[in-house]
Amino acid sequence: MKAKDLRERSVEDLRELEKSIARDTFTHRFKNFTNRLDDTSVMNKTRRDLARVKTILRQLEAAATGAAKAAPAEAKPAAAATPKKKASAKKASAKKEAK
């Protein structure tokens, strides 16, 4: 299964494909454990296909949320500009006073 072919599918179709490939992956692992699987390379192929489908689904979700976030283009508020005191400066001054 190629990623180019997967990108042409709808989101609902990809979700169904993800479920079926996950089921196949489980079946192959179970058959391998019980010594009924002839070609063990099928396990890696289905695992990689599942990863491809999940990756494309995640990319589609990120693109959808990225488009939604891009609409209200407001600047983020800056972090608090209060300087933090260093603990080492306090210790050094305390040592000088102790002498």
Q: Answer left, alpha or beta for residue 82, where phi above 0 means left and psi between -120 and 50 means alpha.
A: beta
Q: Model confidence over 20-37: pLDDT tens digits?
A: 999 999 999 999 999 999
Question: Does residue 75 register a pLDDT over 60?
Answer: no
Picking from 2-16, 35-49, 72-86, which range would have the lowest pLDDT averaged per residue? 72-86
pLDDT of residue 66: 87
Question: Does 77 or 32 have the greater pLDDT score?
Answer: 32
Contact call for residues 18 and 53 (beta carbons, < 8 A): yes
The Cα 50–Cα 53 span in angstroms is: 5
Which residues, in sequence order, are CB contacts of 57 under 8 Å at separation 6+? Answer: 11, 14, 15, 18
pLDDT digits (tens, 9 = 90+) for 41-74: 999 999 999 999 999 999 999 999 988 887 665 5
H/E segment holding residue 81: none
Domain boundaries, the chain: 3-70
The alpha carbons of the chain give a radius of gyration, in whole angstroms, of 27
Q: Which CATH class is domain 3-70?
A: mainly alpha
Report the predicted TM-score, pTM, of the whole model to 2 decimal places. 0.66
Mean pLDDT of 8-23: 97
Please tell me the predicted confidence (pLDDT) of residue 1. 82
Length of the chain: 99
